[in-house]
Structures are given as C-alpha cells and as structure tokens.
Structure 1
C-alpha cells in the first residue's frame, strides 16, 4: 500500500514531521513561542514524496523551524516501496528513526517488543483523547499507545468513468459476478481492465484480503490471525475467486514488473487512461495526479463487491492509515512537533488539501472538500467493520508471506490451497 500501504505512496501515511521542545500548553508549541536555546537536530523518515503532502509538510517544517531556530529537522522522504526495506534494515540493527511513518499493527508491535519505540500514553495523553478510536487502534497495544495516527482510510476500486461508459458498463458492479462481467466487457472493448503493480506485491494482496473478508467474513479473518490457521475452506475459496479474475488476464501488459508510483507503474497506467480500474487506498487520486495526467471528473470510486454465498458484510472496510512513531532515543523536540502538527488547525490544513482524512473527533468534517476524499470518508464512516492491511496487521514475516503467496497465485505459480498453506506455516512458525 495505497500507499501503504501504500503508499504509498502512501502519500497518506507520510503525515507529520518532527520538531522542538515542550510547549506550555502541552499541545505543541505555537509558532513564535520559545522552546529553549539548546540546538536540536533529528531525522524524520516519511513517505511524503507526492503532492499535496510533499509541499504541505515541507512548508510546515519551514514554518516550525522559523519559529524555533534552535531546531533542525532532517526531512527524509522515501518512496513507499523503498521505505519498507530501509526501515526494516535499520530496525534490525537495533535502531529506529527519531520520528518515522508507520502503519501500526504487527510491524509496529515488533518494534515495540524490540524496545525501539517510545510509549506515548502519558506524554501525549492530551492529544490522544481528541483522536477517534478507529484511527488510534492500530497503534495501541496492551492498553498503551505507541504512535499517533495522521490519516485513516480504506481501499476500494478507483475507476475511469469514460472507459466504463465506452464499454457499456452503466453502473459500478456490486457483486463479484457483476465485477467479472465488467472485466469481460472492458476486454471486449479493447480496454485493459485493471492496473496492478505486480512487482510491488502489496497491491495484489488487497484482492485476496477483501475476498477473504467477503467469503469467510471479517470475524473469521480476525480469528485466523489469532489461531494462525488460514487453511479453512472459505480462505481457499477466496483464492479460487481471485483465480477466476486472474484467468481473465485483466492486468496491463508487463504488470509483473511494474511498481506502484513509478512513471510506468500502476498509478501512472491508471492516470493516463491505459487501464479502467485499480484497487487502491484513499491516496490514489493524489498519486495518480503526481504520476500521470490524472482523470479529473472521470475518476470514480466504488466499494469492493460482495461475493455470492459469502458470509461477509458489504459494509466491512479494508484499509488503514498513516501514523508516526518515535524512536526510543528521540529528543523531546520530536514529540513536541508531533503534537503541534496534530493541532486541529494544522491537521485540518492537510485534510482541506485533500491529502488525508480526518483523525480528530471534532472540527475537521468541514475541511473535507475534495470530492474523492469526501466519498471515501463517507463510505468509511458508514462501515460496519474494519480490517487493517494484512501485511501490517500480522508480524512482518507473515505479512510478507501473504504478499508473496498472493503474488504467486496471481502469477500462476501457486494454487489457492498452496497460498493458505504457506501463510499458515509461516504464521505458526512465527508464533513458536
């Protein structure tokens, strides 16, 4: 993901940057306030490589550093697919960035267990109380909070309305059978139905995860994560439904070598009208615009279809957001700026720019002006259940196996049965 899962770009998960000492009101120093004269330098690892977040956060850093000349923030923006291995390499060495982007879940938990992350429960208590529980959940473990969310959203299908109309598709599909029929109509019209970053792998796992939710049900998927057993018949069926799609050869030529946000990747393929759909997070419109021409009013959104005979609810959403965690050795300055950046007037600027969705309980609803972000926000607010990206929900090795196994299914080298077997074996091995 996205972005992630990115994405992403997660343009989404890039939110927020580090800064300086503790303020008098405990909620982030106001620009112009004094935070001491001792010079402070720290790194902020983020995913803000695409607009509007790229400029937004660069401006915020400048704004804060101008008010606090003793603080130097090293803004290290890294593209999503490069970010994950770089962060993994650093944390495996026993270190963590001072302030860094995280999706929470099992990956963050591993950092916590390694003693690399600060517990923010007390020091950021005044901010935590103003954040929605859904946005916070991925960063909380055993009653403690180890990160603060800066975005929340969901994955769904982004589609080209003009290409749908050209192929005779009058409305977005609501069932899996209708979806497969739409793919057939697009192919018959000479249009590539789906853009997919096969090389990146994480976008492909979105299909299997959503199908597992729709076939087995959200509770069954969550239970499988606890028992480390994905071999149930419903999870095999999810893979069989995905294979139905793969057998139609719906993806762009060379998809297995395509990344997500590169000039010839998934987002650009979609943005330049060379494919009719992509399954991606709320950051998709921003990354499309950054990677290609953009679709403007021709861009639409619909939720993942139901599966005939499935146990899952059409209202359950799959996705996540971006947040920030603090390395255990980060200076107090980093927390102070994190709190400053989550002040309603500052975070709402990102919401208004169409970069992120609201994470605060009050004061941000009116800031959602981008029609695409508004659609996702309204859809998510009506969701009956929510599932975090599987490659973030589970421990890193398990999440990677989900991505790898589903990629092999899409590539034709693994069967649906083999997918659930290898995921289960990895999950059980990690739990021992």
Structure 2
C-alpha cells in the first residue's frame, strides 16, 4: 500500500499537479522533465501528549521522505486552543489543508460553508478497510468528508489504591452506588473526582451520559430534530448532576482548572490527588504526559446505569478523531491522510496506546488492559452518541458546555439548563 501510494503521488505530481489553494502553497516547475512541483501542506492537530505527539511527527517525516517535493507544516495545539483557532479561521472562510476533526454537527457546518473537501470519489478504495462505527461521524448523505484516526468512549478512569482505601471493593454499576462511593471516598479523606471546570467540555460529559441513561439515546436524537430539550427526563439528568455537585466531590479550585496542564484534571488523578475522572480513551496517555502516571493502579469502568432509566447500560458516549481536508487543499493533502490511516502506519499508534482501532483487523494491536476493556465495550455497544458539543451545531454544543458548567458551579438550575439549550437550538432554525 505504501509503495503504491508513492507511485500515485509521483504520477500525480509529474502530471502537473502544482496549483494549491487554501493554506497549501505550490511552486510550479519548468516545462518537460521538471521536478515535481513543490507543495507545502498546513496540518493542524491537537495531539500534544505522547505517544501521538512523536508518532504523528514521525509519520510526517516519513511522508516527506517519500515525497521530497512536499513540506508539511504542523500546527499542534491543546484542545481548547485548537477549537478556538480552528473556529477563527473557518469563520474567516478558510480551512487548513489537513485538520483534526471530531465530525458531527461541527464538521457538517464547515461542509455547508464550503470549507471541506468531499473525499467520496477518492477514498472508495480504502473505505472498506475501516470499521463502520469509526466512519459514521464523518459521513453525511452518503458522502465521506474525513477518515478516522481514533474511536473510543468516555468512562471513569480510577485509582484502585484510593478506592481500596475507601473500602470500595468493586466499581459502581448504578448511579446510586456511584454517589455512595463518592461519599465513602470523602469520608476516607480522598478527593473523589478531578474536573477541569475552566474548560467546560469535561463537565458536559456528566449531563450527556445521565441524559442517555435516563432519557435514552432516541431522546437525544429527537431533541436534536425537535430543537427541544425542555422535557422531564433532561431536567432529571440535570437534577442528578446537581446531586453530584452538592456532594462537593471535585478537587479544590476545580472551577479554574484546565485539563492537561501540570496542575489540571488529568495530573490530579495521575498524581494520586483524586480518585477518578470521567474522560475518553486518551486519558491514560494524557495522565502519563501531565503527571506521574498510576501504572497498574489505574482502572476503568463504564458510566453507571440509572435505576428506572430508559437508556441501556451498553449504550456508549464518546467519539474519536479524524482528519478532514480543506476544500482548496492540493491533492497531496488527501494522499497524506490516506498514508496516516494505512494499516502499517496506524497500527503503530494503536500498539503504542495512543489510539484505538479504526481499521478492521487491528484489534490485536491493543496491548493495554484498560484500553482492551474500552475496545471490548465498544465492540458490544448497542448504541453510540457523539459528544454533544460536536454532535449538535456549534452554538448548541457550546451552550450545553456553558450551561452545564454553570449548573455544576451552582449558578444555574436544571430547569434553566434545558431552557437555555432549547432557546439556542430554536434560534439555529
């Protein structure tokens, strides 16, 4: 596959592919027998932690070595800075040549604005190699606008030693048990949960998962269509978030805490200063990068069920990551995306624990026992919900993040949360 990609790239370039719009730049060679046109690709991503930080840089070097006319300029930013910068450039009517995306409603808005290349006609040869679930967030109306690099789910990553100190012998299976365990941890002098209150998106995971467990997946999809979140079940989800917040389970200063900084959510868990965090499949890598790491003391459990709820315990919430191509990017941009997602290249990232399988047959490359548990849960999932701040249009997703942060902080009621989100949803009509 790698050799054929190089041949394709060479053929395209010799045929005179030089012009590049958007962020990519190209310098055309002279006439017959000229060297391939020089191309600079702007690649934006947010893999600031190891192992992906180094692995992605290595892939870029390898691609440039095989394609000497191509220069890849990487812009690597942490989550919030990345979202802000990407929003700014897309609102100006431009997009990077290659950029990380979570898919969903945010990507759809960029597509509707004419900023993202339709890859359908050029990825038909590789689409069958991907799992159906991993592709879903990047496909609309039968067309493909990105290729996945990761897929996963949000769940609780916990410190086994601290759970044991509090007398907790097994992870909670129900929300009532979870709240009891929070009380046990506090009684044992252990901070139960670390939260990046400043960044808001980690907090929305609680409301989203509780809405899934109480109202069910269909209710989340119906709300997206009806533009109405003002229902008893969504209010009940907020009431349970409030019940948790009322226990004061988070670390001191959580409202000003970031996620991946040395004093943020991830490091607080990694350094043994809090018992757990609700986070995606990247949590172990970021914990190692931002703190000491828990080693064998790190465990994982899925989000608990809620008694009487309409949602299934095997419905999962999360998402992955993918790469999209700017509408005006040169052809080499898509060639790099395909290079990144070849089995031989992508499975190295899986083996290193940086991502989970998106290609059929990659499952055996997962080595970490906790990530194997995540992969198994995904394989048996009965339903899947993308992060709400990505699944819904950007303004709606942002309002979810903002309102839930205010609920956790005590300045909004559960009723006010659903009213605010509904108002923004209806204004998007």
TM bucket, shorter chain? over 0.9
Counterpart in the other structure of 1:118: 117
Secondary structure class of the residue paired with 1:138: helix
Counterpart in the other structure of 2:396: 398
Question: In the alignment, which of 361, 364, 367 is matched to residue 362 of structure 2?
Answer: 364
Secondary structure class of the residue paired with 2:126: helix
CA displacement, residues 128-155 of structure 1 (integer Å, 9 cap, x when unaligned): 2221111111111111111111100000
TM-score (norm: length of structure 2): 0.93
Would you say the 8 A contact 1:33–1:67 is kept in 2?
no
Distance in 2 (CA, whole Å) between partners of 1:220 and 1:405 is: 19
TM-score (norm: length of structure 1): 0.92
Counterpart in the other structure of 1:216: 215
Counterpart in the other structure of 2:93: 94
CA displacement, residues 18-75 of structure 1 (integer Å, 9 cap, x when unaligned): xxxx9984xx337997754211101100012110001111111111212221110001
User: How many residues are paired up?
Assistant: 407
State the 1:125 CA deviation: 1.3
Note the 1:333-344 alignment, pairs <5 A: 333-344=332-343
Secondary structure class of the residue paired with 1:153: coil
Counterpart in the other structure of 1:413: 411
Counterpart in the other structure of 1:79: 78
Distance in 1 (CA, whole Å) between partners of 2:168 and 2:222 is: 37
Counterpart in the other structure of 1:287: 286
Counterpart in the other structure of 1:349: 348
Counterpart in the other structure of 2:325: 326
Would you say the 8 A contact 2:9–2:332 is kept in 1?
no
**Which of 58-67 and 104-113 deviates more?**
58-67
Counterpart in the other structure of 1:384: 382
Unaligned 5+ segments in structure 1 are 1-21
Counterpart in the other structure of 2:17: none
Label 1:115 to 1:32 Cα distance change in 2 as closer, same or farther (>3 A): closer
State the 1:246 CA deviation: 0.4
Secondary structure class of the residue paired with 1:159: strand
Note the 1:290-305 alignment, pairs <5 A: 290-305=289-304
CA displacement, residues 100-141 of structure 1 (integer Å, 9 cap, x when unaligned): 000000100010010000000011111122211111111111
Runs of 4+ deviating beyond 6 Å: 30-34
Distance in 1 (CA, whole Å) between partners of 2:367 and 2:10 is: 31
Would you say the 8 A contact 2:6–2:66 is kept in 1?
no
Secondary structure class of the residue paired with 1:275: coil
Label 1:297 to 1:33 Cα distance change in 2 as closer, same or farther (>3 A): farther
**Which of 402-411 and 57-66 deviates more?**
57-66
Counterpart in the other structure of 1:60: 59
Would you say the 8 A contact 2:195–2:251 is kept in 1?
yes
Distance in 1 (CA, whole Å) between partners of 2:240 and 2:256 is: 23
Note the 1:142-291 alignment, pairs <5 A: 142-291=141-290
Label 1:94 to 1:308 Cα distance change in 2 as closer, same or farther (>3 A): same
Q: Which has the larger radius of gyration?
A: 2
State the 1:308 CA deviation: 1.2
Distance in 2 (CA, whole Å) between partners of 1:415 and 1:129 is: 47
Distance in 1 (CA, whole Å) between partners of 2:357 and 2:62 is: 22
Unaligned 5+ segments in structure 2 are 15-35
Counterpart in the other structure of 1:16: none
**Which of 56-65 and 231-240 deviates more?**
56-65
Distance in 2 (CA, whole Å) between partners of 1:84 and 1:61 is: 22
Distance in 2 (CA, whole Å) between partners of 1:24 and 1:167 is: 56
Distance in 2 (CA, whole Å) between partners of 1:85 and 1:30 is: 38
